[in-house]
Chain A
């Protein structure tokens, strides 16, 4: 699920986190983000990852990783045991994203979530003008093989946090190399021009 915007995304995430903290990376993939956080911010990292191949790669890099499914196995992490929990471009792939989100907020003092933005103009245009499910760099799969079950927009997640009384500390919109802060005032326009939304909540 992690894709071409990865590097910029990871830099934005790294900037959101304080040095010398404890971070759990849920769905840590091959450990690229963990490696970055450890090296550049002296962060104590832990990963949770489903794929055996990725787990193997993390271990090879000396990064602590637990093989498991975030949907069913987050219960093993104690309350408030991490300064941050990071979930990169995976929220939309869970059966019960709200439940997972609650678990992340329980485990971490703060939570960083990034989502591919379904409100991005190209995504909207594809559906509006061609009448087809959008395929973009951030959403590379077809309707029949996409792992994404619960697509949402930056605005959706923004509103969701409001409805559920989840404190939003910061939202960053990413479009290629450009990043911008998102707030109530520029939400509509940023929702149209950001490929990726990165939320710091909790």
Chain B
């Protein structure tokens, strides 16, 4: 058995042991198809208090999963947001009850293209319906119901997580007291669609992909998937950050090799990140999730655009952007602020000055974490007070 196939087999066994909600009610997707009786994998941290006023919902980004902090039981690596979530962290799990669900279309236990299609009794592959950001958050609403949470203290997420959050706040205006969308956009830009297309084309160009049918053979188009990840990695850094981190430094050698091996550190880094990724992520999931991001356009859902989308918002917002993020620029984030402002919503905005690019929200970025903590803690006091009256 090839190494990867074995690994996937192992992963599938492990995935059986994680928390899953069987969503029984059917969900009509934006594409017109309906899914029902589907699994939604999730994880929680901390404890829900008696008043049920300390729940925080986290939406994960493109390649994230429900394992926000601690050790991911599947990959054995640290949770993707361990910098911000955990005991004593900005989102303090000693104080708050943190919930995160794997998005549908993903590959960490929620319904996705690698699941068995009940009709054909074989993995979906490309027969999986095309999903949207709205489908993702509608699926997650069932989880809040299941956990008995009527209103969240806060919901937050960066990148695609922020997009899910904006959708969540407009689709369910009464479900969260406050919201912190981070480094995101209300509609995917041409540049971002282009980068996603590059990732998809890399996967599709890998012969192993075989129109998505690789799942039947229990293999993974890892060359294509690795390139797709490399594209992503470049876009998560800034020009300055990359120059400072790698410059023209060579990888464990004194001079050029005059070959196409990874001479430069930056090449070696990308190759490593790319191939490491293939051990934890599914290629078809990338296709489906990037598609959902590309289709995201909040203003399109509402006549009158973004201002109409945020009409009558009672949720208190804090938008955070990063100065060197060229994927979801400060300007794009500010457009959300302007629309919220114009619709009269309660909105704060902070631009964190940093060289670390889009990735900043996942890193140890003191100003960012301090702002996040300040906001959530002050919202908790307000929420408790409001619930008392």
Contact = CB atoms under 8 A, between A and B. Distances in A.
Is A bound to B? Answer: yes
The 5 closest A-B pairs by CB, nearest first: A62-B378, A60-B374, A76-B338, A66-B349, A59-B374
A102 B348 CA distance: 24
B337 A76 contact: yes
Contact of A76 (B341, B350, B379, B382): B341
Contact of A52 (B337, B347, B350): B350
Interface of B: 316, 318, 334, 337-338, 341-342, 344, 346-353, 367, 370-371, 374-375, 377-379, 381-382
Residue from B316, B371, B377 having most chain A Cβ neighbours under 10 A: B371
Nearest to B343: A78
Interface of A: 52, 55-56, 58-62, 64-68, 76-78, 81
B347 A66 contact: yes
Nearest to B370: A56
A76 B347 contact: no
Nearest to B381: A62
A18 B292 CA distance: 48
Contacts of A65: 348-349
Contacts of B375: 59
Contact of B341 (A59, A62, A66, A67): A66
Contact of A59 (B318, B334, B353): B318
Main SS class of interface, A: mixed
Given A52-B367, A78-B342, A59 B337 contact: no
Contacts of B378: 59-62
A64 B348 contact: yes
A61 B377 CA distance: 10
Contact of B374 (A56, A66, A81): A56
A66 B166 CA distance: 18
Contacts of A59: 318, 348, 350, 371, 374-375, 378
A95 B342 CA distance: 26
Given A66-B337, A76-B337, A58 B342 contact: no
Nearest to B372: A59
B350 A64 contact: no
Contacts of A81: 342, 344
Contact of B350 (A55, A61, A62, A77): A55
A40 B263 CA distance: 66
Nearest to B377: A60
Nearest to B380: A62
A76 B319 CA distance: 15
B367 A64 contact: no
Contacts of A78: 341-342
A59 B90 CA distance: 14
Contacts of B350: 52, 55-56, 59, 67
Given A56-B371, A59-B374, A64 B344 contact: no
Nearest to B347: A64
Contacts of A77: 341-342
A53 to B, nearest CB: 9
Nearest to B335: A76
A67 B374 contact: no
B348 A58 contact: yes
Nearest to B307: A78
Contacts of A76: 334, 337-338, 341-342
